[in-house]
Amino acid sequence: MCFKISDVCLFFIVFQLKVIAQTYVPDNNFEQALINLGYDTAPLDNFVPTTNINTVTSLDIAELNITDLTGIEDFLSLTSLDCSENQITSLNVSQNTQLTELYINDNQINTIDISNLTILKIFWCFNNNLNQLVIDNNPNLISLVCWNNNLSTLSVTNNKALTVLVCEENNLSNLDITQNTALNRLQCGSNFLNNLMLTKNTNLTYLACENNQLSTLDVSQNTALKTVICNNNNFKTLDFSNNTNLSYLDCHSNNLCTLNIKNGNNSTITFMDFSNNNFINCVIVDNENADFSAWKPNNFNNYTNKIETCRVFIPVDELNDFIGKYYTLPTLTNGNYFTESNGAGTLLNAGDNITESQIIYIYNETICDSNESYFNVLITDADYYIPKYFTPNNDGSHDLWKILDNTNIISKISIYNKYGKLLKNLSSGNLQWDGTFNGKHLPTDDYWYVINLNTGEAIRGHFALKR
């Protein structure tokens, strides 16, 4: 004990101050948490004995309204830090090199450097304001959860141990996971992805890629998949025939034309939703007679177990050939008029008057495919018109041998085969023939006609039937 100040006593006091190192902790909520955990004593003074914290291996200070984590640098032995659900805006963990688990989610952090955390295995940083995240120096990372940030790029090519990757609700336009062969769970929804290569991720059991811009999805190699959530993309076709473990599929609100879920194990599917796919024609399943009442949409009934019967059908209107002085285009239900094939040339509209002979095409296109028909318009002001051929094959074009009588000058037409046998008599008002005799189709050949006019004159000639 020293009762009066002397050189020896002063030396002892200074020595004591040097020995007891202090860590600066300016945030009162942080310091109070350390007091509650027994690492400091009241009252609050913004300092914590360093020796009390530099050997701590696990620290849970979540949900304590902490805004500043200054002082965390002296927790040199930390292997697990949970500071989630606070109000932290910046965090320096460069000295915490022993960390294997780091939970900083639900804060307001803009940037973080984890390059020194080379043995880090679990990193959860979701619900922050991160614009960039570099994890190249974290090869041992097995779980990365970074959803709901502002990330426009994310490279995981050096993180080959990753089994869980959750990067939803960012601004990613590209995601290369070809090196992450151990990946078991992938959630990358609500980004701007237009491509996703999964062929190397054969251990994947859970996939959520909804709300992106994907148009193709090859899961043929992902035979372990159990859950797939891929709604709100641009898929035209999805094939899960190789995914025998599939039990949950949500692919609603795409542009599906065909869906193949004939995987030999439909009985294990507990949830199925392919609703809001307006062009889907049929769904290929194991047993078309099974009970699909729990699937969505529940009013869909075109199930088949044969892929060859599931074809995309695009309806298109068909019109008969026309011969006359002018033709007015009627209203169409399926398709639009064009002057050239495949929707090329000039677009014509219902109500247009056609005054020149031409072929007019009716073209209908959907997201799945296209279809077209065509008809001939022959504009003539002659008293009558006699076709030189017809092709009665039910294709909608030239199916009838049809005489045009503009002035009602024809009274009767007789049709003969080349041996002179009478096959058909046509009377005024019904001057057309379908190429049959006694209900049987006649073969390809030349046929002859005699046209009797009201004047008493007879016109003779021949025409071709082509099949």
Is 96 contained in some domain?
no
Question: What pLDDT tens digit does each residue of the chain (467 aa) get?
Answer: 444 444 544 444 444 444 579 999 999 999 999 999 999 999 999 999 999 999 999 999 999 999 999 999 999 999 999 999 999 999 999 999 999 999 999 999 999 999 999 999 999 999 999 999 999 999 999 999 999 999 999 999 999 999 999 999 999 999 999 999 999 999 999 999 999 999 999 999 999 999 999 999 999 999 999 999 999 999 999 999 999 999 999 999 999 999 999 999 999 999 999 999 988 888 999 999 999 999 999 999 899 998 887 776 778 898 987 878 889 999 999 999 999 999 999 999 999 999 999 999 999 988 778 889 988 888 888 878 888 889 998 877 788 998 888 788 999 999 999 999 999 999 988 899 999 999 999 999 999 999 999 988 999 999 999 98
Residues 407 and 364 in one domain: no
DSSP symbols for 133-165: ---TT-TT--EEE--SS--S----TT-TT--EE
Report yes or no: 47 and 25 within 8 Å, Cβ to Cβ. yes
Residues 365 and 434 in one domain: no
List Cβ<8 Å contacts ≥24 apart for 132-135: 135/159
Q: Give the residue numbers spanning the domain of 331.
A: 314-381
Give the containing element (helix H, strand E) for 420: none
Bridge partners (DSSP) of residue 448 are 416, 462
Is 69 contained in some domain?
no
Strands 303-304 and 282-284: parallel
Report yes or no: 118 and 98 within 8 Å, Cβ to Cβ. no
Is 171 contained in some domain?
no
Residues 467 and 386 in one domain: yes
Is 359 contained in some domain?
yes
Domain boundary among the residues 337, 358, 381 is at 381
CA angle 375, 378, 383 (to 5 degrees): 140
DSSP 330: P
pTM (2 d.p.): 0.74
Domain boundary among the residues 381, 408, 440 is at 381
List Cβ<8 Å contacts ≥24 apart for 75-78: none
Q: Which of 231, 237, 197, 239 is nearest to 212 (CA)?
A: 231
Report yes or no: 338 and 361 within 8 Å, Cβ to Cβ. yes
Q: What is the CATH number of the domain that holds 416?
A: 2.60.40
CA angle 77, 83, 88 (to 5 degrees): 120
Residues 420 and 362 in one domain: no
Is 427 contained in some domain?
yes
Left if phi > 0, otherwise alpha if psi is -120 to 50, otherwise beta: which for 112?
beta
Amino acid letter, residue 142: I
CA 277 from chain centre, in angstroms, equals 11
SS3 79: coil
Tokens read off for 59: 């620290």
